[in-house]
Structure 1
Amino acid sequence: MIPNAITATALCLGLTGVRFAIGGEWEKALASIVFAGVLDGLDGRIARLLKANSKFGAELDSLADNIAFGTAPALVLFLWSLKDAPRFGWIAALALAVCCALRLARFNSRIETLDQPHKSAGFNTGVPAPAGAGLAFVPVYLWLVSQGSGFEAWFRSWPLVMAWTLFIALLMISSLPTFSWSSLRIRRSMRLFALAFAALLVAALAVEPWWTLLAVSAVYLVTVPMGLASYARFRRRRANEAQRERPTAPAPAAN
């Protein structure tokens, strides 16, 4: 019940973000969906900690992710900017929601598949749904931090928002290997530094949430090509190991 309740809360927060967007309360809309992403990162870990994994929980998690990180961000972006596009604003918003659903369907269809090269190497395939939702809001973060500078109208312009939304949608359904939190292992000597960093990150989110989310988004985007290079090195190392383990054919006997 506990992890499923957390998942249901994340779903409600995603839809609450849409409610705030309808009222023009953009900061509250973004905060609701971002907090839903935090809960999404906790429910699976709590389920494993309590040994409460279930098929029901896995299905509920995917449905909640589709609504909170696909449908809700698409509607928020449409209400914020894409509704001003003459023809294709709604199509761009739909692209984000549909690509999120396709990514989750691909993930679910491969849960019981043994041959998953990215997963076995500790990588995700494409950008996960919560990360995709956070990245899709980068123009909104820029708009919020640029208030009064004269650039806020540019960040809210529908051509920019449409191009960025389509880019993030493609990242979500791409086959790019991206780093997975589950593969992160912190050395014992670095754990105090990691705790200090986590505490400072929470403090930064409380004091300057939009600048902090911009920085987190930039760091994540930098890790995308890094993940591609890291996975390429992993494949080369795996191929070399397989080559060394392959038995050599005996030399032909001399006449």
Structure 2
Amino acid sequence: MARRRRPKRSNKEARRRAIYLLPNLFTTASLFSGFFAMIEAIDGNFLVASAAIFASLIFDGLDGRVARATNTTSRFGVEYDSLADLVAFGAAPAVMFYVWALRPLGRLGFLAAFLFAACGALRLARFNVQSDSAKPSKHFVGLPIPAAASMLAGTVMMWTQTSLVEPIPAWVAVAMVFVLSFLMVSNIPYLSFKSLGLARLRSFNGLVACLLLFVLVALQPYVMGFALLALYVVGGPLGARLLERGKAEKEQAEQLEHKPDHS
């Protein structure tokens, strides 16, 4: 009896099922950094925990770039990266912020930390669905979970490394967590740094601005880092408001242009 030949898989399908080592190593490093951040936060080493979250951010950026540069993107890598992001940017900052500032609030603090992790999971799930069905865009829908996690880590770093010796007020901490959680699941557009084209920047004034920004960050890394993160978080709602106003003015101008003249 002749054996049935299995249909050959296309190269595209085989690539989607493949597991590539190099980009997934960076994803594993991001996952490890997030897990390490949780352990250090439980031990009370909040500065080390914050630094580990920022290390996860670096590894998370590298895995995608390496995969695209080496043409080794796969569905496995996308799913693995999403799961690693949930640990590094959802669970790790939630645990760290709970131990650092939210624990005195009791049940409210626990629920606030859980809300951050849950909204981060929803944000990642929505991003995966939209990236599969929509065309690439210059904006993210909602605050990216790495930015929200970096905001919490930057707050811990700034507060512990400046003259702010007193613990952060509990109401400030819980309000920050609630706001970041809402922004992650909102429809507010946030600028994607991929659309800035910094690698192709040819303007001399742009180079001078980047150099000045580098000097300011090097002068006060904790304060300036926190300020830049806060500017990005706040810039989303403000930018969305400006975009809506610009669209309204454009539509009004088009209506006036097409309005018949009865004179």
2:181 corresponds to which of 161, 169, 178: 169
1:117-136: CA deviations, max 9, x gaps? xx53x110011111010112
1:189 has 2:213 as partner: no
Aligned residue for 2:7? none
- Aligned partners of 2:51 and 2:153 also within 8 Å: no
How many matched pairs? 232
Q: How does 1:56-135 map to 2 (within 5 A)?
A: 56-114=76-134, 119-120=136-137, 122-135=138-151
Deviation at 1:42, TM superposition (A): 1.9
In the alignment, structure 2 segments of 5+ residues that lack a partner are 1-20, 256-263
Deviation at 1:237, TM superposition (A): 9.4
**Aligned CA distance change for structure 1 residues 200 and 61 (closer, same or farther; 3 Å):** farther
Deviation at 1:143, TM superposition (A): 2.0
Opposite residue 51 of structure 1, the aligned amino acid is N
Alignment partners' CA distance in 2, 1:194 and 1:104: 33
**Aligned CA distance change for structure 1 residues 48 and 230 (closer, same or farther; 3 Å):** farther
Q: How does 1:1-255 map to 2 (within 5 A)?
A: 1-114=21-134, 119-120=136-137, 122-147=138-163, 151-155=164-168, 157-186=169-198, 187-190=201-204, 192-193=207-208, 196=211, 200=215, 204=218, 208-229=220-241, 231-232=243-244
Deviation at 1:235, TM superposition (A): 5.2
1:233-255: CA deviations, max 9, x gaps? 77569979x99xxxxxxxxxxxx
**Aligned CA distance change for structure 1 residues 180 and 158 (closer, same or farther; 3 Å):** same
**Aligned CA distance change for structure 1 residues 209 and 91 (closer, same or farther; 3 Å):** same
**Aligned CA distance change for structure 1 residues 193 and 40 (closer, same or farther; 3 Å):** farther
| Identical columns (%) | 35
Deviation at 1:219, TM superposition (A): 2.5
Opposite residue 74 of structure 1, the aligned amino acid is A
- Aligned partners of 1:102 and 1:173 also within 8 Å: yes
**Aligned CA distance change for structure 1 residues 81 and 168 (closer, same or farther; 3 Å):** same
Q: Secondary structure at the match of 1:9?
A: helix
- Aligned partners of 1:142 and 1:152 also within 8 Å: no
Q: Secondary structure at the match of 2:107?
A: coil
Return the TM-score normalized by structure 1: 0.80
Q: CA RMSD in A?
A: 2.8
In the alignment, structure 1 segments of 5+ residues that lack a partner are 244-255
Alignment partners' CA distance in 1, 2:96 and 2:220: 21
Q: Secondary structure at the match of 2:203?
A: helix
- Aligned partners of 1:96 and 1:166 also within 8 Å: yes
Deviation at 1:9, TM superposition (A): 0.2
Alignment partners' CA distance in 2, 1:226 and 1:38: 27
Return the TM-score normalized by structure 2: 0.77
Alignment partners' CA distance in 1, 2:241 and 2:65: 28
Deviation at 1:35, TM superposition (A): 1.3
Opposite residue 129 of structure 1, the aligned amino acid is I
